[in-house]
């Protein structure tokens, strides 16, 4: 059997990872400034994480959600404390798309409505809220099964308000920072007005923090830069440092009932052990603070480099936009300088390194990045 060929691949086989470095099968070392789309939060193969996973795997990997699993409770308590959402409840799933699907479902059950507002250039996984992110018609295709999704411009509060006052919108879904769409940060005032407008109209506000959450922005959640408290928050990616685990944080206004939501794999013993280990390491190593500090430094230094159109970001979620395609630049970073980066669209380099990135690694990257830019002019 062949693999279903949906991913364009670099001709590199990664066989090992340590902290912010990965190694290919020839032993070549790479600096990882992408972490597989913001997944590697505490660094590759962190010894504490590896130990906790191995210990748990020896005991039990999975049973089912029909028996008590104290690891789920421990995870919920630790996540509540780390994020400042101790009064919210946690529903566990295995991916970002699943987290958003369940958020939409819950919003729809709660309001009895099915219309959803999302934003241009948003990405919420291959969900009912679909994608509006690329010019590729194959990906843009809406997948609205049951939900009628209306797209608005980010930061255009008047257009959103006009829609909300009709009273037929079940949820507004918005990323803390748009990732796939190009590192676009919602204005603080816009988020505050959006939150107020949702409350006034009985609309559920869903913050998709799948990519921007878990300390990436220099706060636990990106929306916390705007001091708002959404009704539902979705997380995944950095939550398990590579182990597939996602979560839906649910405000106390939602009432749980048996059978309302459900999943087979979500909240397995091994998934919880991974997610608990991530939170333990984030706390012990002050990784949210490190993300803010190293992110500020990188953004400040990148803004001094000539030839860049714009540097956008918060913490270690950074977009570097050029006037032209970054294809060659990215390839040169990877194959000549041995640095993994990501892209958004054709003109933006996207940095999503592990949150433990050191100042030394940041300086190393900046030097190589300047070299590559100079080599290409």
Binding site for ligand PLP (CB under 6 A): 37, 95-97, 100, 123-125, 175, 179-180, 208, 210-211, 236
Cα 226 from Cα 218, distance rounded (Å): 13
Report the nearest approach of ligand PLP to the CB of residue 221 (Å).
Answer: 12
End-to-end CA distance of the chain: give it in Å, rounded: 45
340 exposed, middle or buried (CB, 10 Å; 0-12, 13-18, 19+)?
Answer: buried
Q: Packing angle between helix 359-376 and helix 327-335, nearest 10 degrees?
A: 120
33/210 with CB nearer ligand PLP: 210
43/96 with CB nearer ligand PLP: 96
Contacts of 358 (CB under 8 A, 6+ apart): 20, 294
Report the nearest approach of ligand PLP to the CB of residue 259 (Å).
Answer: 24
Report the nearest approach of ligand PLP to the CB of residue 346 (Å).
Answer: 18
Report the nearest approach of ligand PLP to the CB of residue 13 (Å).
Answer: 22
208/231 with CB nearer ligand PLP: 208
Q: Angle CA(371)–CA(298)–CA(274) in degrees, nearest 5? A: 115
- Give the residue among 29, 3, 16, 2 at the shortest CA–CA distance from 340: 29
17/213 with CB nearer ligand PLP: 213
CB atoms near residue 167 (< 10 Å): 12
Report the nearest approach of ligand PLP to the CB of residue 98 (Å).
Answer: 7
Report the nearest approach of ligand PLP to the CB of residue 199 (Å).
Answer: 23
Give yes or no for a contact between 351 and 41, defined as CB atoms under 8 angstroms apart: no
211/268 with CB nearer ligand PLP: 211
Report the nearest approach of ligand PLP to the CB of residue 213 (Å).
Answer: 9
91/369 with CB nearer ligand PLP: 91
37/229 with CB nearer ligand PLP: 37
Report the nearest approach of ligand PLP to the CB of residue 240 (Å).
Answer: 10
Residue nearest to ligand PLP (CB): 96
Give yes or no for a contact between 38 and 211, defined as CB atoms under 8 angstroms apart: yes
244/337 with CB nearer ligand PLP: 244
């Amino acid at each position: 059997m062949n693999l279903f060929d949906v991913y364009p691949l670099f001709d590199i086989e990664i066989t090992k990872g340590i902290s912010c470095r990965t190694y290919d099968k020839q032993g070549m070392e790479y600096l990882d400034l992408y972490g597989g789309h913001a997944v590697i939060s505490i660094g590759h193969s962190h010894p504490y994480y590896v130990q906790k996973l191995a210990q748990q795997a020896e005991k039990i990997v999975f049973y089912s959600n029909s028996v008590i699993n104290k690891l789920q409770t421990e995870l919920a308590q630790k996540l509540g404390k780390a994020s400042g959402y101790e009064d919210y409840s946690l529903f566990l799933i295995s991916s970002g798309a699943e987290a958003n699907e369940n958020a939409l479902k819950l919003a729809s059950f709660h309001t009895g409505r099915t219309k959803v507002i999302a934003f241009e250039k948003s990405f919420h996984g291959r969900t009912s809220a679909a994608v509006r992110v690329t010019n590729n018609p194959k990906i843009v295709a809406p997948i609205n099964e049951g939900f009628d999704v209306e797209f608005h411009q980010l930061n255009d509060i008047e257009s959103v308000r006009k829609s909300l006052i009709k009273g037929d919108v079940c949820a507004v879904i918005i990323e803390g920072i748009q990732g796939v769409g190009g590192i676009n940060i919602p204005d603080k005032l816009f988020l505050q007005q959006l939150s107020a407008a949702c409350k006034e109209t009985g609309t559920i506000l869903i913050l998709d923090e799948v990519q921007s959450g878990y300390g990436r922005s220099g706060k636990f959640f990106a929306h916390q830069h705007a001091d708002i408290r959404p009704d539902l928050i979705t997380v995944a990616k950095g939550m398990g440092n590579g182990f597939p685990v996602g979560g839906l944080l649910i405000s106390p206004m939602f009432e749980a009932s048996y059978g309302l939501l459900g999943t087979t794999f979500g909240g397995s013993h091994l998934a919880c052990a991974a997610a608990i280990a991530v939170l333990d390491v984030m706390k012990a190593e002050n990784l949210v603070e490190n993300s803010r500090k190293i992110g500020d430094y990188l953004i400040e230094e990148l803004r001094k480099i000539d030839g860049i159109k714009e540097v956008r970001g918060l913490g270690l979620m950074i977009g570097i936009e050029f006037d032209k395609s970054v294809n060659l630049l990215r390839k040169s970073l990877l194959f000549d300088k041995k640095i993994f980066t990501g892209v958004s669209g054709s003109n933006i380099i996207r940095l999503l390194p592990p949150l433990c990135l050191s100042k030394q690694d940041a300086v190393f990257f900046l030097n190589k990045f300047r070299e590559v830019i100079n080599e290409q002019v």
